[in-house]
Structure formats: structure tokens, C-alpha cells
Amino acid sequence: MVLSRRRVTQSLFEIIQENWAELGIEVKPKPVGYDELVESYLEPRSYQAALVDLNLYRSPDPTRIHSGTSAGNWWAELQQVERPPRQRVP
């Protein structure tokens, strides 16, 4: 499992590793830097399992799945999403 080198992510991995071991699944960590995680594993989708966390200093869409829109203007575009009208609950 690839994961970032952040301590919180590694702590979560240890819990996952213990839980999966109870199911008979052996999982080994592969800690990498965040840029390497995104560029070498997430973007090309070359992993079996990945433990990721949200880092706000990077793009909110590191996989670039939704990159059909202008990457730097995601918040303004989100605000323009048409929402259904709210209904009163009786």
C-alpha cells in the first residue's frame, strides 16, 4: 500500500494493517513523498491500494479526474453548480 510519509497517515496505516491481518491479508507499507504519491501512483493509477489524505496546498483534485475545467478556478465553478430548491419538511 502506498501512502504519504505524514505521521497521521502512517498511524492510520498501522490500524488498517492490524485489521487486515485479522482477515488474513498481509499488507506492507510503501511510504513516499506526497508529490511522488500523486505523480507516480495516483495519476497513472499504478497501485493496488493507496492511503491518501487531503492536502490543501495541492490541487483539490490530485488525480485530475475533473480537470476538464480550468484547474485554478475550481471554487468559482463549484459555486455555479445548480442546486435543487430546498423543500420544507412538514
Average pLDDT over residues 8-12: 84
67 touches 61 (CB < 8 A): yes
Radius of gyration of the chain (CA): 18
User: In this predicted model, what pLDDT tens digit does every residue of 13-68 receive, in sequence order?
Assistant: 899 999 999 999 999 988 888 888 888 888 888 888 888 876 545 555 555 555 55
